[in-house]
Amino acid sequence: MVASRALIAFGLLMLASACPWPALAEECVVIDDFSQATVGELPPGWKLRKDSGRGVYSVQTQGQLHYLHAASRGIGIQAAKQHEWDLTKYPILAWSWRPVEFPKGSDERKDKTNDSALAVYAVFPHTQWSVKSLKYIWSAVVPVGTQLTSSGGLTKVRVLQTGTGGSGGWTEERVNVLDDAKALFDGKEIPKPAGIAVLTDSDDTKSSAQGDYANFRACKP
């Protein structure tokens, strides 16, 4: 998928007992926990790559938890949030996600089936007309640890989770964006990330996909 051109408060994170994962205390920059968003709407500060994606992404609640729900029907459009942060201080990008519905027949190794129930991007400035991205996916079939390339080499993909057995449960992710950027972009000087993006897509498989995202933050190691 072509990376979005939409370039995507400091505090201690204390997850409430109502959240579906263990309480943690970390020194993090909160990118978005969706707590200030209106339920049923695209959260403030997020932009869609195309207006046709309106309706795909909306904030929902589970107890005290606010999260971003994505429901794709034969469409593949990113939602992105601009948020710069210092990777030398906060190299870890952390979030929680859960798959709900995997696109039928998806396999991210093939162009004609390159759809994912869940994908998170760290987006970097590149040129006036393009960005570079690190894309982290939950794949139905591609093995964990697989590395892929798309967008003419501008997007580097890592598979963090694989298989459909995790549907319905939350999984916490922590990735070292600084290390990944150095390794996957040939060790060149790494600029501040411009923001993050998410993509739940089903356009290549002409099917449907659903997934949820929560508690995006940039953290110290």
- Please list the pLDDT of the chain residue by residue as tens digits (221 residues): 433 333 332 222 223 333 444 435 579 999 999 999 999 999 999 999 888 788 999 999 999 999 999 999 999 999 999 999 999 999 999 999 999 999 999 999 999 999 999 999 999 998 888 899 999 999 999 999 999 999 888 999 999 999 998 667 899 999 999 999 999 887 677 889 999 999 999 999 999 999 999 999 999 99
Distant-in-sequence, close-in-space partners of 195: CB < 8 Å, separation ≥ 6: 7, 8, 80, 81, 82, 83, 84, 123
Domains recognised in the chain with CATH numbers: 10-14+25-219 (2.60.120.260)
> Locate tokens 């190691």: which residue?
221
Q: Is 176 buried (19+), middle (13-18) or exposed (0-12) by CB count in 10 A? A: middle
- Backbone torsion region of residue 92, taken as left when φ is above 0, otherwise alpha when ψ lies between -120 and 50, otherwise beta: beta
Running DSSP on this structure, what letter comes out for residue 184?
Answer: H
Q: Which of 219, 99, 69 lies closest to 170 in space, CA to CA?
A: 99
